[in-house]
Chains A and B, each alone.
Chain A
Amino acid sequence: EIVLTQSPGTLSLSPGERATLSCRASQSVSGYLVWFQQKPGQAPRLLMYDASNRATGIPDRFSGSGFGTDFTLTISSLEPEDAAVYYCQQRSAWPLTFGGGTKVEIK
């Protein structure tokens, strides 16, 4: 099973600051890495697929990068509505696995 480790566990930043979220895989997932955003009481929302492709309707302040085992989700300038938990998921091998999540708090 591919283990995804997300860091940090919590990120507390001010509006306008840059957020950098990490997702590290225990073995290569090639580019098959997905990012989701989940707000309290809501279903997850697709942000990025294939590591660096923004999903429909996602603002361009969100960007993704990486290949193999190390991936990054960057929010270039935080907005208050970006407060959420962010999960990565690998779609390279069975079983599909999620990271433990990074909580982004807005000061």
Chain B
Amino acid sequence: EVQLVESGGGLVKPGGSLRLSCAASAFTFSSYNMIWVRQAPGKGLEWVSFINFRSDTIKYADSVRGRFTISRDNAMNSLYLQMSGLRAEDTGVYYCTRDKDLNIRASDIWGLGTTVTVSS
């Protein structure tokens, strides 16, 4: 079964750091573009970051640029999100998603999410 499983969430103090991981299985990870999306408690969806299959195109939301770093290891079938300078407004569920196809811009597979709480 095609699957994405996030890990690494937790409670962190403002200004702290956290590294999220996303393990992919049952598909050729190296052939897909990947995206992180987050959702604050009781709020809507917010796009965070994008990385293409070769890691040569990377994009960030303004709200996280300079603080978050997306990366991937195709040999390990894994996606990462290094988060630093965390703020209360970064609290939420972080989802790892896969684009349906290199030519179809749509997140067709989502993980269950990992929860990040930024609080003192």
Contacts and interface: CB of A to CB of B under 8 A. Distances in A.
Interface in A9-59: 32, 34, 36, 38, 43-46, 49-50, 55-56
A44 B106 contact: no
B50 interface: yes
Contacts of A91: 105-106
A46 B44 contact: no
A91 B33 CA distance: 13
B100 interface: yes
Interface in A49-107: 49-50, 55-56, 85, 87, 89, 91, 94-101
Contact of A101 (B35, B44, B60, B113): B44
Interface residues of A, number: 24
B25 to A, nearest CB: 16
Contacts of B37: 44
Q: Is the interface of A mostly helix, strand, loop or mixed?
A: loop
Contacts, number: 61
B104 A94 contact: no
Nearest to B105: A91
B104 A87 contact: no
Contacts of B50: 94, 96
Give the one of B44, B60, B105, B106 with max A CB within 10 A.
B106
Given A43-B110, A95-B59, A49 B105 contact: yes
Contact of B106 (A38, A55, A98): A55
B112 interface: yes
Contacts of A56: 108
Interface in B98-120: 100, 104-108, 110-113
Contacts of A97: 47
Contact of A98 (B44, B95, B108): B44
B113 A46 contact: no
For the complex of A and B, 7 pairs with smallest distance between CB atoms: A49-B106, A91-B105, A96-B47, A43-B110, A98-B45, A34-B106, A46-B108
